[in-house]
Structure 1
């Protein structure tokens, strides 16, 4: 028994005692409560083998057993407790829990942070009391957890019995969504190892749950439903721990980051959109993000059974040309590569296939396979030998009941024989969304086939995630993370020229330029350059120069330069008479190359991030951008280029010089480092455009925005 005056530390072991308890107390037990009844029924259905205590301050008999008036009154040490008591009784309950040596508690009760500030204050006081007593809290306002591996649920709505060989863990901030996901997983025969509902997260949060699950042998993938992330740094560390343990994290997140609203008027913030920062984090740390409950379960299931896929693409075969066409269209829409087969592969297929079949990917076996099912195994083996194929798929439904002739068994047997010869990940998938019962799962496993009833859409989406995770892991082996630079001395760059000079000092190539304060000096500088020039106003008060007539491009000849200078000064004075004018920038005119936008922002939740997209006026018109959290590596930057819809422009579109992507990646990394070195008061650093012309890459314009006033400007 623990001394009430000596709080126990909250250790990792305490989570083990909570999630794998040998003794449980149902505090507030009563047969009149659906929550209490469901919790008891779940424990009986699972066959919980530990000690179960019923606690009710009035005593009595519940579920056929006498109830103690308190946990301490049992005279035994208790591992975990389900608290089904009003919020007003929580303080005295924790005193009792401490006396009974309770290590962890599940709090069903609501009326805390979810109801506003007064509830948040009550939640803080409750968490403080639990912390002082050394008691971990799951909740409040949560449905609990279920440890399917240990047949131990503390869950307050009805659950189905554990399945054999479970391999997917589920963590959800919403208990109701977790219940729906558990039902769907059962329908698909996806065995859950654990299900944890974190509720308001007064203590145990999603990161704690991920870290706990990462240490266990049974979960092979972790599925998350998130509404928010309260501690981003710990969340990222937990995901990395899961990855290091070989467990892929798949997330369905609702809601959005408020980066755009909090980034002042910086263009970078407005380009990000509500959810782009979280998306960028997922890509960067290797999380697979999905967008439906069905996709969450199907994807986590296939990660658990197949793992990440190292390879170039997917090869699919079916006994229907129409299905093959559907697969082709949906794979293209989802960015899943369906590679063209090598001539050696198509030649081998011609020797196997009937004359009416065309060797291609996807491969239509035609109705001939109905009469010659051995075509399935032979063609699968041939497809697997193609170097461009990383994963194989076969379209066929597993029957819910064995048909009398055993036809389905015969076909699936040949699928299994083909899969066994490949040495590559293989999946048999249903064409439509289909239930998977115990008979279907048993038949496919007997034949050595990994089968999903997720249908074309969800199975292809999951395969895309498997391939992208494989690519991400390959990049990680090549990438060296760039460390953040130290805080730069000498104040804050504010004007365009200060920004470009600062970037140049940080190793970023910038366009040559001179600052002039007269038309005569502009003429002299332009003549010395010996080529067309660009003139731009220089002012700490003017961020967007074109809007005030502060830019004239492609100027040739002395008279034209003089006229351009005078026109800029007149236009700016009329549009912004109060603006401070530092001069006019004269620089060589660049007429070829791809204009890119590179901008950084500081998200209030996730920290500094960097955005790359098509530049110039297109950055606002097209919003074709990719994002990562800082710092980034060159491999991250290269991946960002591949995510742009306009990436073809980098590769010599219509005769233009192809951009040196590796050199461009180094420049983007240097821009990110330069932004980090400016410190936490930097709201945004923007380069628009960053001109990429073959091997020549130059920043042509720069802008900074700060969270406080720059007194040096």
Structure 2
């Protein structure tokens, strides 16, 4: 540290340069080549416990302690290691030098990297591209990607503060598998695959219904899509399965399939052209089925050529069987939460878009019985809810123009019929109209469009003052039967379908319960005064949800959705709403 430390470090560099020596460090625990037994290192992993088993995983770490720990935990799990590299201060040899070297090394299949700072983006990119071109993968944990982490890394390895997010972007752009837990370096490092991108369309076969539920929830949250099985697959499954088995994906065939029929179900799903990878969730072993389970997975994996992922949720007795799977390159998660985190790292932060897979719409607007328009807003206003100023009109252009002048420009014009739930999608909403000519023209266009879209009967038109300011919210109240009545809140408009960031509270509730629910949203900062804006009026939201709940009861409704409500620091207004009647009787 300080001028004397820099001078001492420079003297090492000068001496190495003079004599043609490549230098690792300083501040490094050294180098290990496992297969040859060459250990120029002071790492404690060499002197504690069992010998390191040779394998295909090379470990590079800027922190010698982290690198040693990753190797030790991999060794305990039976994962083989090829090399251990501690880069330290990287004054001469840098991470790209070792990544490029391992690209050409026959003993290395995957490189696991703990990195706190990337000094030269171009050199790093070239090395990673060489590794990928050789059919090998880089799995990386980036230390110092957050503000607090960067400060710690700056004092440890001299990281330049403010670059963490940029380094993370570089890793992801290069197709590097970025993990959120250092343990995942060796867990994912043991997976055999020659591609940097992992498929998202998965099948699942389970003989425990509970395990299927645990695995499905974790995988779906990680971005996995479960395509429908083909008719041919359905017929293969039904050849052997009992009547109670529903041949859909995920597939739960029950414990009666073990040990005789489970492999045939695996083969049928693996052969389905829509399935690109398979997850097999196993419970703690029963009736001596553990070895049979391993044999079934490995045989079908070899036959299909598709990647397999196993969730095996049990205890220490499963260790020998898990080691067999890992030795063959199968990704094994030992806890449901591990499964979600590992697969999220494999797939990356990208999400499956609507164009790639149909996404179920659980919003009120998705119900065929939903009613909206002018009638819904009028009922809310009668219930004491603040609704944007509006007029309900017929087809007369002169009357519409007169009402617009009375409301004051700008205005919004939309079809007001209660049976038309998706006005925006049908092009039956016009916003920001600032003159009589604009209002009359918009009415003419939408009248013609409504006819083409098959909107029947006498039409109503809803004219509203143009509400501005505040935050767009979606507010929903739902009667969940014996569970009770619940209110939900999140960002409104189209954002609710994209972000799916909504929190729910039982009603009635106090304002503090509502505040805590809002604070759990990923977008919470927008509600509490982001960048100097006014916090959302929590009292208004609280009042509105409870008035909606009252209407739910008196009008015999199952659900009410307000989307959007525009809410600022001093109240808000409801702009649009939908009702779903309670048809349970």
Using the size of structure 2 for normalisation, the TM-score is 0.54
1:138-537 aligned at under 5 Å gives the runs 138-156=24-42, 157-159=44-46, 160-164=50-54, 166-256=55-145, 275-302=164-191, 304=192, 307-308=195-196, 311-370=199-258, 373-396=259-282, 407-431=289-313, 439-440=320-321, 444=325, 450=330, 452=332, 454-467=334-347
Take 1:308 and 1:200, find their aligned partners in 2: how far apart are those partners?
29
Deviations 1:392-414 (A, max 9, x none): 12223798xxx9x8542233333
Q: Which residue of 2 aligns with 1:663?
A: none
Q: Secondary structure at the match of 2:114?
A: strand
Q: Cα–Cα, structure 1 residues 451 and 332, in superposed 2: closer, same or farther, change >3 Å?
A: closer
Take 1:280 and 1:121, find their aligned partners in 2: how far apart are those partners?
35
What RMSD, in angstroms, separates the aligned Cα atoms of the two structures?
4.1
Deviations 1:148-179 (A, max 9, x none): 12221222123242325x11111000000011
Q: Cα–Cα, structure 1 residues 192 and 554, in superposed 2: closer, same or farther, change >3 Å?
A: same
Q: Secondary structure at the match of 2:82?
A: strand
CA contact (8 A) 2:190 2:329 kept: no
Q: Does 1:131 align with 2:17?
A: yes
CA contact (8 A) 1:251 1:289 kept: yes
Q: 1:471 deviation in Å?
A: 11
Q: 1:126 deviation in Å?
A: 2.0
Q: Secondary structure at the match of 2:261?
A: helix
1:20-39 aligned at under 5 Å gives the runs none
CA contact (8 A) 1:409 1:443 kept: no
Deviations 1:444-489 (A, max 9, x none): 589x7836354333345444554569999xxxxxxxxxxxxxxxxx
Q: Cα–Cα, structure 1 residues 430 and 200, in superposed 2: closer, same or farther, change >3 Å?
A: same
Take 2:283 and 2:270, find their aligned partners in 1: how far apart are those partners?
21
Q: 1:359 deviation in Å?
A: 2.0
CA contact (8 A) 1:376 1:415 kept: no
Q: Secondary structure at the match of 1:158?
A: helix
CA contact (8 A) 1:314 1:338 kept: yes
Q: Secondary structure at the match of 1:179?
A: helix
CA contact (8 A) 2:199 2:276 kept: yes
Q: 1:180 deviation in Å?
A: 0.5
Q: Which residue of 1 aligns with 2:487?
A: none
Take 2:268 and 2:130, find their aligned partners in 1: how far apart are those partners?
38
Q: 1:278 deviation in Å?
A: 2.2
CA contact (8 A) 2:74 2:80 kept: yes
CA contact (8 A) 2:32 2:84 kept: yes
Q: 1:208 deviation in Å?
A: 0.9
CA contact (8 A) 1:288 1:469 kept: no
Deviations 1:631-676 (A, max 9, x none): xxxxxxxxxxxxxx959679xxxxxxxxxxxxxxxxxxxxxxxxxx
CA contact (8 A) 1:307 1:466 kept: no
- Where structure 2 has 5 or more consecutive residues not aligned to the other structure, the ranges are 151-161, 353-409, 411-430, 439-467, 474-493, 500-585
Take 2:284 and 2:332, find their aligned partners in 1: how far apart are those partners?
9
CA contact (8 A) 1:170 1:195 kept: yes
CA contact (8 A) 1:377 1:419 kept: no
CA contact (8 A) 1:173 1:226 kept: yes
Q: Secondary structure at the match of 1:357?
A: coil
Q: Cα–Cα, structure 1 residues 213 and 416, in superposed 2: closer, same or farther, change >3 Å?
A: closer
Q: 1:197 deviation in Å?
A: 0.4
Take 1:433 and 1:618, find their aligned partners in 2: how far apart are those partners?
52
Between 1:356-365 and 1:448-457, the stretch displaced more is 448-457
Take 1:219 and 1:469, find their aligned partners in 2: how far apart are those partners?
27
- Where structure 1 has 5 or more consecutive residues not aligned to the other structure, the ranges are 1-114, 262-272, 473-531, 533-552, 561-615, 622-644, 651-713
Take 2:284 and 2:17, find their aligned partners in 1: how far apart are those partners?
51
Between 1:357-366 and 1:307-316, the stretch displaced more is 307-316
Take 1:296 and 1:329, find their aligned partners in 2: how far apart are those partners?
23
Take 1:369 and 1:279, find their aligned partners in 2: how far apart are those partners?
45
Q: Which residue of 2 aligns with 1:697?
A: none
Q: 1:307 deviation in Å?
A: 4.8
CA contact (8 A) 1:353 1:365 kept: yes
Q: Cα–Cα, structure 1 residues 153 and 380, in superposed 2: closer, same or farther, change >3 Å?
A: same
Q: 1:239 deviation in Å?
A: 0.9
Take 1:425 and 1:470, find their aligned partners in 2: how far apart are those partners?
20
Q: Secondary structure at the match of 2:279?
A: strand
Q: Cα–Cα, structure 1 residues 122 and 449, in superposed 2: closer, same or farther, change >3 Å?
A: closer
Using the size of structure 1 for normalisation, the TM-score is 0.45
Take 1:338 and 1:384, find their aligned partners in 2: how far apart are those partners?
13
